[in-house]
């Protein structure tokens, strides 16, 4: 997937590592292992500082996102490598909401970038589709919409109960994500941007998306821009994913359509994502959650986290390293050096070791820098 705008561009970067719960704590060390391997032969230095925020800390100390954490991350780190949050012992999932949604909102990470890239033909459930057919990126608005937590219930627990959840869309919020999608397309030589909404039913909220889209697209006449209602997009992306380069949509629809996209490209175990504010400290996480059902078994697929780390170094401006990580992942898929969910026999750490060794060998053959 072509590059995402950079934060740092220098030779050194500080990374906050938040492995979190469940398989987050199992896959994140593998991504760090791979990052260390890719940086070793290059004149790049990554400094990792790990934070133990998650269910254990919450249950032990009652702390979710510690006081001053947001400012510390914002001022002292270039990026955050995140695992996953979610634990059956915390039914409210309060720690996950405070930490992950807290960071997304408080760091104003308004772009949720979710590449959908098929890395090996055998991984797509679509018949007769190959790597060259499935290569797009979804930009999901990440700070507004139905996820802002505005709403309430009335007469809860009675037969007359009413629940209201507000969909909040600001002119500023809609414009910046749409503009980002066009800028990304232009910077990366991509020719097509598709904005998706449900403005035929959600006339107020998505009427705003329509108006802003029509205005902004006039500044990007070099890009082929198009609109699809979200239900049509869901059909079209399955029928023929070749139609799409860049998709931009609201928080809820982006959540859903990017998971659909993840399945087209091999499933949750492989899907990376970035929560980005261009030029500011941004957060990178695999799309999958903490997966308690497989935690502790050693079967968690670390490739989603590893591909996430490639997005992160791309954000730092380190394109060669990002490409080297993706090359290694492609090689692992080709040689079936993968976990059982992808049909392999390796455990989580063995996949990380294999990738690190692959990069070590490739860097001897042809140094990354
Ligand atoms: P959430 O934390 O988002 O509520 P979850 O942790 O229950 O969700 P997901 O991460 O969404 O679940 O994944 C659903 C299922 O997919 C998992 O229970 C697991 O079986 C499988 N899965 C997800 N990620 C991976 C992975 N990295 N490796 C192998 N299997 C995975």
Q: Which CATH number fits domain 111-271: 3.20.20.10, 3.40.718.10, 3.40.50.300, 1.10.3720.10?
A: 3.40.718.10
CA distance 310 to 296: 25
pLDDT tens digits for range 211-247: 999 999 999 999 999 999 999 999 999 999 999 999 9
State the CB neighbour count (10 A cutoff) for residue 13.
23
Ligand 1 near 301 CB (within 6 A):
yes
The pLDDT value recorded for residue 367 is 46
DSSP line for 188-214:
TT--EEEEEE-TTTSTTHHHHHHHHHH
The pLDDT value recorded for residue 7 is 60
294 Cα: distance to centroid of ligand 1 (angstroms):
8
* Alpha carbon of residue 129 to chain centroid: 23
Ligand 1, atom 1, lies closest to the CA of 289
142 Cα: distance to centroid of ligand 1 (angstroms):
21
The pLDDT value recorded for residue 214 is 98
pLDDT score of 11 more than 90 = no
The pLDDT value recorded for residue 363 is 73
Ligand 1, atom 4, lies closest to the CA of 289
Positive or negative CA dihedral for 146, 149, 154, 155?
positive
Ligand 1, atom 3, lies closest to the CA of 289
Q: Please state which CATH class domain 7-110+277-369 belongs to.
A: alpha beta
Give the nearest ligand 1 atom to 23 CA.
Answer: 27
Q: Where in the chain is the domain with CATH 3.40.718.10?
A: 7-110+277-369, 111-271
Substitution candidate for ligand 1 out of 30, 267, 291 with most atoms within 8 A of CB: 291
Give the nearest ligand 1 atom to 84 CA.
Answer: 2
Ligand 1 near 341 CB (within 6 A):
yes
**Banded model confidence at residue 166, pLDDT cuts 50, 70, 90:** very high
Ligand 1 near 262 CB (within 6 A):
no
Closest CA to 180 of 244, 137, 134: 137
Give the nearest ligand 1 atom to 340 CA.
Answer: 29
347 Cα: distance to centroid of ligand 1 (angstroms):
16
Who has greater pLDDT, 368 or 26? 26
The pLDDT value recorded for residue 110 is 97
Who has greater pLDDT, 42 or 196? 196
pLDDT tens digits for range 282-326: 999 999 999 999 999 999 999 999 999 999 999 999 999 999 999
Ligand 1 near 95 CB (within 6 A):
no
pLDDT score of 155 more than 70 = yes
Ligand 1, atom 8, lies closest to the CA of 289
298 Cα: distance to centroid of ligand 1 (angstroms):
14
CA distance 286 to 232: 27
The percent of residues above 90 in pLDDT, for the chain, comes to 91
The pLDDT value recorded for residue 353 is 98
The pLDDT value recorded for residue 364 is 59
211 Cα: distance to centroid of ligand 1 (angstroms):
37
pLDDT score of 8 more than 70 = no
pLDDT tens digits for range 63-119: 999 999 999 999 999 999 999 999 999 999 999 999 998 999 999 999 999 999 999
Give the nearest ligand 1 atom to 27 CA.
Answer: 27
pLDDT tens digits for range 246-272: 999 999 999 999 999 999 999 999 999
């Amino acid at each position: 997937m072509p590059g995402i705008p950079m934060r740092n561009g220098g030779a050194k970067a500080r990374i906050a590592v938040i492995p979190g719960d469940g398989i987050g704590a199992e896959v994140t060390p593998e991504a760090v292992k791979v990052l260390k391997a890719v940086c070793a032969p290059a004149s790049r230095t990554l400094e990792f500082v790990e934070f133990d925020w998650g269910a254990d800390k919450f249950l032990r100390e009652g702390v979710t996102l510690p006081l001053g954490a947001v400012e510390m991350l914002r001022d002292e780190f270039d990026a955050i490598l995140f695992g996953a949050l979610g634990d059956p012992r915390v039914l409210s999932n309060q720690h996950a909401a405070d930490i992950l949604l807290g960071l997304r909102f408080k760091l104003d990470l308004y772009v949720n970038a979710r590449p959908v890239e098929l890395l090996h033909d055998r991984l797509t459930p679509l018949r007769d589709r190959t790597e060259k057919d499935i290569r797009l990126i979804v930009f999901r608005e990440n700070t507004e919409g139905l996820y802002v937590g505005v709403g309430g219930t009335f007469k809860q627990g009675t037969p007359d109960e009413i629940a209201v959840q507000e969909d909040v869309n600001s002119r500023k919020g809609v414009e910046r994500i749409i503009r980002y999608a066009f800028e990304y397309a232009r910077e990366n030589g991509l020719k097509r941007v598709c904005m998706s909404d449900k403005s035929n039913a959600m006339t107020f909220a998505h009427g705003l998306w329509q108006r802003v889209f029509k205005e902004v697209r006039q500044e990007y006449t070099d890009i082929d821009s198009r609109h699809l209602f979200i239900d049509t997009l869901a059909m079209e992306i399955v029928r023929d994913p070749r139609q799409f380069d860049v998709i931009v949509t609201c928080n809820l629809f982006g959540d859903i359509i990017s998971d659909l996209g993840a399945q087209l490209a091999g499933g949750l175990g492989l899907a990376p994502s970035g929560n980005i504010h261009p030029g500011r400290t941004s957060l990178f996480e695999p799309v999958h959650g903490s997966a308690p059902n497989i935690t502790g078994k050693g079967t968690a697929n670390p490739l989603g986290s590893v591909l996430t780390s490639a997005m992160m170094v791309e954000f730092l401006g380190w394109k060669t390293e990002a490409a080297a990580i993706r090359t290694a992942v492609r090689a692992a898929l080709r040689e079936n050096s993968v976990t059982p969910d992808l049909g392999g026999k390796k455990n989580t750490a063995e996949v990380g070791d294999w990738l690190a060794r692959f990069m070590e060998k490739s860097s001897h053959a042809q140094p990354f820098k």
